[in-house]
């Protein structure tokens, strides 16, 4: 079946469901439990007592627990800034007393020594110049203090993702006169930037040149580690041993480790691979495209034509670990963390110091996963820590209707995961992670995006479920306790507390932090359960060092301020302290953008965020003849083009962000 262009270009896959498994779903019968839960959520809107957490007593969820990822700053008890109104302006707006400034825009020089090309606003930068400049579509991001091992709040590295590209903005003539060099320029505009940043007085600057500055692209050699290394499914003619993979792409959200490395996550990689022949069940389950009018790499670069290189897709869909402190280090794809459409990778430590990584698979009706390392983190041995993500146990989440939950191991030979279900060994199973999760009966979720671990409450974890307009539709999974809204166009945020507050536990209790939605109008199905700032389509999610939870929205650019989102304004960033149910709006973005990427300096006095795809007008690529039709942010030059950018935010009085 041919897919509409929008599902090829747009990354929220509005028409795209790959999970056609019939693994168990919850009863469609509204239990007394479910009815009560939903009543309580709506009751909050009506002004009745705040009921969060509904299943967990506050002392269970928020008592001073064993701190595995402790913050050095005291826990915030209230938000200090004044919530701002919604906005449809073409600018970044923050509360009074705060300053926000675009800082590292698409096309700005990364800072590579001897190679500092200036941005050309007519998109005439060459392919080689693009390899030394910020890519497009900034997404996940993390801060690393300099020097390595220190906690400087004024000097460090930012590693950030460039998730996808828009050929209508990248070239003067869009996809006309298509050739390999144009595909290569696009490949150089995706991947990762590592930049050195420094505070000078009250301002911040990108250090250029910097010995740390680096671009990682779709063609950077990397190693694959773990059980899928050397597996038959990852071997290709160009890499007959199944060891060395060229590049990473569709780098969405991220993680960072206690040992000072960056994790970048390969999300919608399947959009770029095109297969014209009959699809295998594995290709279908991962949603390999059968046409692509947006990237068009498959037409000129055989690697992306699955008919020509059938195993190349199996080499994408992984979490990649990068050492930002060593610009010549080889990135590693860790197969032990599973292969799917990885949104992010939130890292914490178990009670016994094993590394734990929480991960979402962002597509409708996909799953939430957790990895627990075999070996333990050793604060005194960075080299040994570098191996932690190479071996361990991958689990997938099952949310029971009674508020309990289980982490189901995806281990070859356990729970029927053997040749009878089509798995040959652990490496084979990991390439087919989604099929293994189907087989054990994981819970189909409403598009799991970012996951955040509370730094002030061990084992307390949150996950954004951005939306799922197909929930409850005929022939699709019905509502269930964890995904309780049919036609869920606004999304919600899950919370779970691991047994014994230990992230390595195999059982948990769960609840819903908030149902996103409107705070006006009479439509019960559209109501949000928050008090204060209304929002929908939560995506970016991170705690700061004070325990404030920051939420960034990604309402589809075809829906911003329209349809169910009429009068809700441009995409935004809100803050809450879990347990209060109070939400304040901290930032609104320019037109057509999503807000994403969250990195706080260790003193909580500087916040870096990313504005992604300002000026995106809808489901198609931008008209190259009119790139500023929707936005000209940040340069405000009608003859230029909108540019994704990192934004640096400080308080004018030098205070902590959020106060």
550, 598 Cβ separation under 8 angstroms: yes
Q: Name the minimum Å distance from CB 268 to ligand FEO.
A: 7
Q: What share of the chain is helix, strand, coil (3-state, %, to 5)?
A: 15, 30, 55
Q: Name the minimum Å distance from CB 11 to Ca ion.
A: 6
Q: Name the minimum Å distance from CB 217 to ligand FEO.
A: 18
Nearer to Ca ion (CB atom), residue 213 or residue 609: 609
Q: Which does 16 bind (CB under 5 to 8 A by kind): Ca ion, ligand FEO, none?
A: none
**What's the CA gap between 185 and 187, in Å, rounded?**
5
Q: Name the minimum Å distance from CB 361 to ligand FEO.
A: 9
Nearer to ligand FEO (CB atom), residue 274 or residue 465: 465
Element (H, E) at 514: strand 507-515
Nearer to ligand FEO (CB atom), residue 125 or residue 553: 553
Which residues, numbered 394-433, are part of the site for Ca ion (CB under 5 A)? Answer: none
Strands (E), 211-330: 214-216, 221-225, 244-246, 251-256, 262-266, 319-322
Q: Which does 511 bind (CB under 5 to 8 A by kind): ligand FEO, Ca ion, none?
A: none
Q: Name the minimum Å distance from CB 294 to Ca ion.
A: 14
Q: Name the minimum Å distance from CB 253 to Ca ion.
A: 5
Nearest to 235 by CA among 341, 338, 309: 309
Element (H, E) at 184: helix 180-188
Nearer to ligand FEO (CB atom), residue 362 or residue 454: 362
Decide the pairing of beta strands 582-588 and 531-532.
parallel
β-pair partners for 204:
199
Q: Name the minimum Å distance from CB 18 to ligand FEO.
A: 14
- Cβ-closest residue to ligand FEO? 252
Q: Name the minimum Å distance from CB 345 to ligand FEO.
A: 13
296, 183 Cβ separation under 8 angstroms: yes
Q: Which does 163 bind (CB under 5 to 8 A by kind): Ca ion, ligand FEO, none?
A: ligand FEO
Which residues, numbered 134-173, are part of the site for Ca ion (CB under 5 A)? Answer: none
How many CB atoms lie under 10 A from the CB of residue 425?
15
**What's the CA gap between 478 and 526, in Å, rounded?**
18
Nearer to ligand FEO (CB atom), residue 557 or residue 581: 557
Q: Which does 267 bind (CB under 5 to 8 A by kind): Ca ion, ligand FEO, none?
A: ligand FEO
Q: Name the minimum Å distance from CB 67 to ligand FEO.
A: 30
Please report whether residue 539 would count as binding Ca ion according to CB under 5 A: yes
Exactly one of 428, 438, 594, 620 binds Ca ion (CB under 5 A); that residue is 594
∠ CA 29-30-31 to the nearest 5 degrees? 100
Q: Which does 129 bind (CB under 5 to 8 A by kind): Ca ion, ligand FEO, none?
A: none
Element (H, E) at 575: strand 572-576
Nearer to ligand FEO (CB atom), residue 11 or residue 215: 11
Nearest to 162 by CA among 206, 104, 209, 213: 104
Burial zone of 367 (CB within 10 Å; 0-12 exposed, 13-18 middle, 19+ buried): buried
What does 394-427 look like in DSSP terms, one character per residue?
A: EEEEEE-TTSEEEEEE--TTSTT-SGGGT--SHH
Segment lying near Ca ion (by CB under 5 A), choices 168-176, 366-374, 538-546, 603-611: 538-546
Nearer to ligand FEO (CB atom), residue 129 or residue 361: 361
Q: Which does 220 bind (CB under 5 to 8 A by kind): Ca ion, ligand FEO, none?
A: none
Q: Which does 594 bind (CB under 5 to 8 A by kind): ligand FEO, Ca ion, none?
A: Ca ion
CA dist 246 → 139, 229, 309, 312, 500 (Å): 21, 14, 13, 10, 42
85 secondary structure, DSSP code: P
Residue count at the site for Ca ion (CB under 5 A)?
A: 5
Q: Name the minimum Å distance from CB 630 to Ca ion.
A: 13
- The set of residues, in sequence order, having a beta carbon less than 8 Å from that of 377 and lying 6+ positions away, is 258, 259, 349, 353, 354, 355, 385, 388
Segment lying near Ca ion (by CB under 5 A), choices 150-158, 385-393, 463-471, 562-570: 463-471
What tokens were used for 611? 């504005």
Nearer to ligand FEO (CB atom), residue 260 or residue 313: 313
Segment lying near Ca ion (by CB under 5 A), choices 37-45, 332-340, 546-554, 585-593: 546-554
Exactly one of 554, 586, 591, 593 binds Ca ion (CB under 5 A); that residue is 554
∠ CA 145-99-493 to the nearest 5 degrees? 70
116 secondary structure, DSSP code: -
Q: Which does 545 bind (CB under 5 to 8 A by kind): ligand FEO, Ca ion, none?
A: none
B/e letters for 466-477, b = 16+ CB within 10 Å, e = fewer, are: bbbbbbbeeebb
159, 110 Cβ separation under 8 angstroms: no
Nearer to ligand FEO (CB atom), residue 11 or residue 37: 11
Binding site for ligand FEO (CB under 6 A): 11, 163, 252, 267, 343, 362, 449, 539
Q: Name the minimum Å distance from CB 262 to ligand FEO.
A: 16
User: Cis bond leading into 450, ω under 30°?
Assistant: no
Q: Name the minimum Å distance from CB 492 to Ca ion.
A: 14
What tokens were used for 423? 């798995």
Nearer to ligand FEO (CB atom), residue 388 or residue 451: 451
Nearer to ligand FEO (CB atom), residue 11 or residue 138: 11
- Interacting residues toward Ca ion by CB under 5 A: 449, 466, 539, 554, 594
């Amino acid at each position: 079946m041919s897919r509409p262009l929008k599902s090829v270009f747009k990354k929220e896959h509005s028409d795209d469901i790959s999970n056609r498994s019939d693994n168990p779903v919850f009863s469609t019968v509204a239990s007394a439990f479910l009815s009560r839960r939903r009543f309580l959520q709506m009751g909050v809107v009506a002004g009745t007592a705040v009921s969060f957490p509904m299943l967990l007593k506050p002392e269970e969820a928020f008592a001073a627990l064993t701190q595995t990822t402790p913050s050095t700053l005291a826990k915030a008890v209230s938000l200090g800034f004044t919530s701002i109104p919604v906005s449809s302006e073409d600018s970044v707006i923050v509360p009074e007393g705060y300053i926000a400034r675009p800082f590292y825009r698409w096309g700005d020089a990364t800072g590579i020594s001897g190679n500092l090309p200036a941005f050309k606003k007519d998109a005439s930068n060459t392919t080689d110049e693009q390899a030394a400049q910020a890519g497009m579509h900034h997404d996940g991001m993390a801060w690393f203090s300099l020097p390595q091992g220190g906690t400087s709040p004024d000097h460090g590295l930012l590693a950030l993702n460039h998730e996808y590209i828009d050929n209508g903005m990248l070239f003067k003539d869009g996809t006309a006169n298509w050739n390999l060099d144009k595909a290569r320029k696009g490949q150089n505009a995706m991947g990762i930037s590592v930049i050195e940043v420094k505070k000078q007085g009250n301002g911040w600057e990108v250090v250029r040149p910097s010995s740390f500055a680096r671009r990682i692209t779709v063609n950077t050699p990397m190693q694959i580690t773990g059980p899928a290394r050397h597996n038959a499914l990852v071997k290709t003619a160009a890499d007959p041993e199944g060891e060395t993979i060229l590049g990473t792409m569709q780098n969405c959200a991220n993680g960072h480790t206690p040992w000072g490395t960056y994790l970048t996550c390969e999300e919608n990689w399947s959009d770029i691979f095109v297969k014209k022949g009959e699809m295998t069940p594995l290709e279908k389950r991962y949603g390999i495209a059968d046409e692509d009018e947006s990237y068009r790499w498959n037409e000129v670069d055989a690697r992306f034509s699955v008919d020509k290189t059938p195993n190349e897709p199996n080499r994408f869909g992984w979490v990649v670990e990068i050492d930002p402190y060593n610009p010549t280090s080889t990135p590693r794809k860790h197969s032990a963390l599973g292969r799917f459409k990885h949104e992010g990778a939130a890292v914490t430590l178990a009670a016994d110091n094993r590394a734990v990584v929480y991960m979402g698979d962002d597509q409708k009706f996909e799953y939430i996963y957790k990895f627990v390392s075999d070996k333990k983190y050793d604060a005194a041995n960075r080299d040994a820590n570098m191996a932690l993500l190479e071996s361990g146990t991958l689990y997938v989440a099952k949310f029971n209707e009674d508020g309990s939950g289980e982490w189901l191991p995806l281990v070859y030979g356990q729970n029927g995961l053997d040749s009878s279900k089509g798995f040959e060994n652990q490496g084979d199973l990991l390439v087919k992670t989604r099929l293994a999760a189907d087989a054990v009966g994981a819970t189909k979720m409403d598009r799991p995006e970012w996951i955040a671990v509370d730094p002030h409450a061990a084992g307390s974890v949150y996950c954004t479920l951005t939306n799922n307009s197909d929930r409850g539709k005929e022939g699709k999974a019905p509502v269930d306790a964890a995904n309780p809204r049919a036609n869920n166009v606004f999304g919600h945020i899950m919370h779970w507390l691991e047994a014994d507050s230990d992230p390595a536990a195999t059982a948990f209790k769960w609840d819903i932090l908030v149902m996103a939605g409107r705070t006006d109008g009479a439509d019960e199905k559209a109501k949000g359960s928050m008090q204060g700032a209304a929002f929908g389509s939560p995506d970016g999610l991170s705690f700061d060092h004070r325990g404030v939870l920051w939420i960034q929205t990604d309402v589809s650019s075809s829906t911003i301020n329209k349809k169910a989102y009429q009068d809700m304004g441009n995409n935004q960033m809100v803050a809450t302290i879990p347990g209060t149910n109070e939400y304040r709006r901290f930032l609104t973005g320019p037109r057509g953008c999503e807000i994403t990427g969250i990195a706080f300096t260790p003193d909580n006095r500087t916040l870096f965020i990313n504005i992604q795809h300002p000026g995106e007008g809808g489901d198609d690529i931008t008209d190259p003849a009119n790139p500023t039709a929707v936005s000209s942010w940040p340069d405000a030059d009608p003859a230029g083009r909108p540019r994704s950018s990192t934004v640096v935010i400080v308080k004018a009085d030098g205070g902590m962000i959020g106060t």
